[in-house]
Chain A
């Protein structure tokens, strides 16, 4: 199994809603990531989990709350979002950590397209 699965594929939410994005991988990867991608732009790193612990938070607003319940799952909890948060949210995992080729060898899911009304 070489897939990263993200659900839902599409999500529309109001600014007062609470929702979650989910990501799952069964490749035994110990690093997992959330990226945000706006149209015609490169992905921007939001969070990195290494061995189920948050290792990087790229100054993301607290209305985005990541969670890593176990080594296969990664969630992104959403609350009180703004319309400018509408984007494609990409989850990725990697077999390695910093320093080796595996550290940058990311396996991406298809993304969750979020629209905030």
Chain B
């Protein structure tokens, strides 16, 4: 199947860390991505991780990958009100097609 699941909603206080989780289905995915969508806007690529990596850090963002459990997470350190948005994980569907399957999305609300 092509279902990529995420929890619907996460609320944190400004300055705390946020952890957004994702489970994917295609074990042949070579790259996994995190996108951010602010209200009324398109999606913005935040970061990606290659499937043979366990962790990738990029400034305030840390991506953890557990390939055995097909579990991906995005940690945002020192969360700011500007981080409030919907976050989508995405997997690159296997095969010769260039098809990106998005997760169900997590709405992150940052309280001041």
Q: A residues within 8 Å of B by Cβ? A: 4, 31, 40-43, 45, 48, 50, 55-56, 90, 92, 94, 97-101, 103-111
Contact = CB atoms under 8 A, between A and B. Distances in A.
B45 A98 contact: no
Contacts of B45: 105-107
Given A94-B98, A104-B100, A43 B43 contact: yes
A90 B96 contact: no
Given A42-B105, A48-B99, A97-B98, A103 B92 contact: yes
Contact of A90 (B33, B43, B97): B43
Given A104-B48, A111-B42, 15 more contacts: A43-B88, A56-B99, A90-B42, A92-B43, A98-B96, A103-B31, A103-B98, A104-B33, A104-B90, A105-B48, A106-B100, A108-B43, A108-B44, A110-B41, A110-B42
A45 B43 contact: no
Contacts, number: 68
Interface of B: 30-31, 33, 35, 40-45, 48, 50, 88, 90, 92, 95-100, 102-105
B75 to A, nearest CB: 20
A111 to B, nearest CB: 5
Cβ-closest 7 pairs across A and B: A108-B42, A42-B102, A98-B98, A104-B92, A108-B43, A104-B100, A110-B42
